[in-house]
Structure 1
């Protein structure tokens, strides 16, 4: 049984990698099952034993990442965590994104699923706004919403740059940069003089 599980994981990984490589160069509607199977080195029957079509494949990949993302955000929901800081939150999120770098690169690319990116931001909004409200007790809900919008857009920019640089920095280093920018604004740069 264990050998079959490993084979299934390997097959799905090959399909995922081939699919995401193809998505970097063309829209999903332009990818055929035959082309995908050739790129993955599998036959059509193998593909159909795991997925009903290309859309099912994308949905399963996104569901897996969504699950990972929600797991990374779980500490935000744990109000018993006394040492929870924005840095720890941001590090967890960037680590999740690093572990799913392939789907992040595609989602943020020209042929990415913008709805999926929006879903991730909305999950982050729901959890981060609640966490920020606890951390910044004097802020109004509207201020926190605006802050989240600003910060999440900036983090998307950092993620794009991090991906373009090959993710050579650790998730913690990027999270620290993000936190310094969030907490210090332009002073983040002036502190470097």
Structure 2
């Protein structure tokens, strides 16, 4: 489906307004009125594009899920490349970065955690196949590392994404 340039620009303005609002408060506390005001548009203009803020984020997330799914499936054999690509993606997508902060949405955070957990489980099997881990130790170790990776991602965003994606990937892989 083709969208006019004006529609695309308005959606980009609304997304940017959401980024700015997420810096100040949690997604749950942001109202459609605040969003329209921050975007400099009328509420009716907002409703021309979305039913509400949840519809906006749902549509945005669906597009992101497809792109992130591609990154993870395309680089499933190389965890370092996948991590670099995700961090490059975070540099290019300010709304995604904002949604991954503590003020963001749990759905996208859980999606990314799950993908990392699957990749880490496979990678850890390869790295530590000589060690004998019980089933619960394998499960706990992947959850532990996934949350550590995610915490690093959140602090990287909060600190202004100063390090390059390659530096972050190298650091994260050192921690394994």
Pick the TM interval, shorter chain: 0.7 to 0.9
What are structure 1's unaligned runs of at least 5 residues? Answer: 78-83, 183-193
Find out whether 1:91 has 2:84 as its counterpart: yes
Partner of 1:39: 38
Matched-pair contact (CA < 8 Å) for 2:80–2:170: yes
The separation in 2 between residues aligned to 1:126 and 1:181, in whole angstroms, is 17
> Which has the higher mean CA deviation after the structures are superposed, 47-56 or 65-74?
65-74
Find out whether 1:145 has 2:139 as its counterpart: yes
Larger CA Rg, structure 1 vs 2: 1
TM-score when normalising by structure 1:
0.74
CA, structure 1 residues 119+86, in 2 after alignment: closer, same or farther (shift >3 Å)? Answer: closer
Partner of 1:71: 70
CA, structure 1 residues 9+105, in 2 after alignment: closer, same or farther (shift >3 Å)? Answer: same
Find out whether 1:125 has 2:117 as its counterpart: yes
Matched-pair contact (CA < 8 Å) for 1:76–1:89: yes
**1:89 shift after superposition:** 2.8
TM-score when normalising by structure 2:
0.80
Q: 1:175 aligns with which of 142, 161, 169?
A: 169
The separation in 1 between residues aligned to 2:94 and 2:28, in whole angstroms, is 22
Partner of 1:157: 151
**1:132 shift after superposition:** 4.0
Find out whether 1:57 has 2:56 as its counterpart: yes
Give the RMSD, CA atoms, in angstroms.
Answer: 2.7
CA, structure 1 residues 75+168, in 2 after alignment: closer, same or farther (shift >3 Å)? Answer: same
Matched-pair contact (CA < 8 Å) for 1:108–1:114: no
The separation in 2 between residues aligned to 1:31 and 1:161, in whole angstroms, is 22
Number of equivalent positions: 174
Matched-pair contact (CA < 8 Å) for 1:76–1:131: no
Deviation digits for residues 54-86 of structure 1 (CA, Å, limit 9, x no counterpart): 111121222232222212201344xxxxxx443
The separation in 1 between residues aligned to 2:123 and 2:151, in whole angstroms, is 22
Partner of 2:6: 7
Matched-pair contact (CA < 8 Å) for 2:117–2:142: yes
> Which has the higher mean CA deviation after the structures are superposed, 9-18 or 95-104?
95-104
CA, structure 1 residues 158+112, in 2 after alignment: closer, same or farther (shift >3 Å)? Answer: same
